[in-house]
Structure 1
């Protein structure tokens, strides 16, 4: 029978030494591991720091006019003027997406400023609603025929027609006979203004073709409403440019704008000289627009005699302005949310939000 031999003193000391080394190594590993893992205090510090950063962002953008979200980690906002230059400001918060990277803020065209370091997550987002925005603007029409008066047997201007047969009459323009035609176009409902672009008159030579006339646009006086002495704009008609038969002459106007829809104007053919300056196509009776008026002055425009049953042949072109309402679908941000983590500890993530009273326009880009 064999008996187990007891360990010698040397063996015992060797075993104790090895055991001490192993236990020391294990203790060191535990310490290193414990130090590598975030503690409760580290987590609280990360959340507290993140809350300060998130609150700053929310306060900075609380009155934004528009918000654009690009990707998952960039927010661009337009906010009201902050530097008294009457212009809106642009603020950009951005994180590269690299774990442990920096969160920056860019103001207008400045350099990015550091907001936070050690960022492991930054994700701005918005709650939103759909809205329809109606906008009313004043829109000017293209050039239109605003008023046309043909006379017996006169060839019409291009694109128009003349229902009257017979032969046109002539009104001579002399020092003792100035002619005037009142025009008050019928505009679309809601029109706020109108303008004159050109006037066509039909005229011919009466004499030695040396005559000069001025084709003036004048406002209308109060009742009985003859031509005012004010000339809004005028053009020259040279008799040397006319023929022996009637032909349409075009006079362009660039300054007769924003006339009230409630009032008309007078086209005045003013004699300049030297004798009979021109003959103008004219009709008495059976006038298409009985709300218009024809007038003559025998004393150089001091007084005028009017009739509602005669007219100078004319075509008046111009534009009018009307309000136009358009509807646009928009997405409006109602709440701004920020998710932020300034630690590698997933439990340190912070999520906070604020109500956007201005409900800015929201754009989301990939």
Structure 2
């Protein structure tokens, strides 16, 4: 059943799209884009439409107007724009309801990927419309955002993040998403033995779209956990800004029961924005003097700002009294209690190297037991309000 329509004046593009859809295509006669959406909607002979492909060559404004009208008349349709002006059109296209922009010289495999995603989005939207899925404005259904942070790297923050997310996913399958927000050097994909088709760079692009679009950029882990993996290299992540992060977390919180965020070490701009949208903050450091002192500075900063005063969860990793520090020493330096001590264990590096979190493989070791306790803190306690505040409150706080 043909549910894809193409409007173009290019015979070459028509052939490429025809090949990409294996002939399952209704194409308007070659020529300028139609003036009204009615020609597009009638192209399939009355059958419901999934995807509309618009060639914007020489008519970008008109193509955007058609996309906006289609979005109003048939919200489930996914619109794909063909243009070589991606950088200039991206933001405007997103706000006008365009799902994706592909180049005029895109290969057949590239078109297959874009059109396949578009069909998937259209199907998700149609299903949501039939089932009455809640929208993003349902504040009472907002999920619990849990950010995992650390004052410095190398303290096991990603190990804690992935185990927490896997543990929550076991308690609430298909209702948990893990976001790798270590913008430049995130390693969640390796920690979960994933080879993602899409990364954080792709996921922040549909900020102007609905959550159905965003879901097509998630990677599904075998435990039922959804994951947004970090960028493949630091250069790719340069374009991700604070607004992108804020929009992404709010979209995810509207759709998932738990959103776990693995932040970058320290207090980067992206981490601070994540904190603004966070219900609970898990602070991780290692059981050594530099790590504990760094955590004390971070806690003092948050206290001065009045943030997470009753929603902090302090985790000390690599706990080993033989190294010269005791739990009492740590508590004394921090000036507060410690929620969890994760003992030094040979099982942890093995787990990391295999890409299989301890809470996925099971077992009854002391570290696994403590990680289960961390999960229990969120499955058995009520959600706290997000600790949002004016952005200027961060000035001078680092």
After TM superposition, the score normalised by the length of structure 1 is: 0.19
The structure with more strand, counted as a fraction of residues: 1
After TM superposition, the score normalised by the length of structure 2 is: 0.18
